[in-house]
Structure 1
Amino acid sequence: MQKSEDFTRLRSSFRSFAIPMTISFLVWYFAYVLLSTYAEGFMSIPVLGNLNIGLLMGLSQFLMTFLITWLYIRHANKSLDPIAEKLRHELEGDL
């Protein structure tokens, strides 16, 4: 099964989404950590009332997590689930 074309497509489709999303999230996260450590002046710039850039960037980590989750669900429903369903039926002998 691992050498089948469908399984290869499933693995490739998953990786083409997961790897870039993981890298982009880690870059954003480490940028936040490094900026909060080494650029305190920048992070403390007020934006609106008591909200500063550091707080907004920290809150954006949650938004980024929700966005990536939503994008993954959309990608899985469109690209991964149909192939996985087909493979499951082949493995279980439903076809």
Structure 2
Amino acid sequence: MPQQQTSSPEQGRQSEQGQRFDWWAEPAAVPGQAPRPTHRAPADGPGTDGPGAEDPETGRPEPDGSTEVYRSVQHSEAFQQIRHSYRAFVFPVSGVFLAWYLMYVAAQAVAPGLMRSPVAGPVNVAWLLGLLQFASTFLLTWLYARNARTKRDRAALSLRWDTQDQLR
């Protein structure tokens, strides 16, 4: 039976056909082709009036028109309502779920006898609460998707189309 030969990293990184196995290294140069640049300079350099122009006082790039559009959208009442709706759901629900999880972990540590109490057959309180953790995860995922669909998606889509119209 033929034995496969293995090579160590020190013995080279090429197969018999010359294919490289070190995928993290830069690509090998192909004969007859110019090497690919690894870094591209911006099309408009500093001191020009294009997107790469810099503010002479601060040295920071000057914002172009799209930056101002996105900033105005961020400060708009519609965007603030979408953010408020998101936070009003996510923060309380995350807090409740975290408290529920920590209660389960604390009960395991503080009351192991209670957690070993049988509920039905081989299922004890610990198993029941552990399975309820999974059930609550699926329930919260469904609630989040329903909340997003009913309260935020239409407003966010409308805001997106308005923004795209302003960028044209």
TM exceeding 0.5: yes
Structure 1 unaligned blocks of 5 or more = none
The correspondence of residues 60-71 of structure 1 with structure 2, limited to 5 A, is 60-71=132-143
Q: Could you list the structure 1 runs, at least 4 aligned residues long, displaced by more than 6 angstroms after superposition.
A: none
The correspondence of residues 37-56 of structure 1 with structure 2, limited to 5 A, is 37-56=109-128
Q: Secondary structure at the match of 2:107?
A: helix
Q: What number of residue pairs does the alignment pair up?
A: 94
> What one-letter code is carried by the residue in structure 2 that aligns with 1:76?
A
> What one-letter code is carried by the residue in structure 2 that aligns with 1:72?
Y
Match of 1:9 in 2: 81
Q: Secondary structure at the match of 1:93?
A: helix
How far apart are 1:6 and its partner, in Å?
0.5
Please identify the structure whose Cα radius of gyration is greater.
2
Q: Distance in 1 between matches of 2:88 and 2:80?
A: 12
Structure 2 unaligned blocks of 5 or more = 1-72
Q: Using CA pairs under 8 Å that are at least 6 residues apart, name the structure with larger relative contact order, 1 or 2.
A: 1
Q: Distance in 2 between matches of 1:41 and 1:12?
A: 44
Match of 1:92 in 2: 164
Q: TM-score, normalised on structure 1?
A: 0.96
> What one-letter code is carried by the residue in structure 2 that aligns with 1:62?
F
> What one-letter code is carried by the residue in structure 1 that aligns with 2:125?
I
Q: How many percent of aligned residue pairs carry the same amino acid?
A: 43
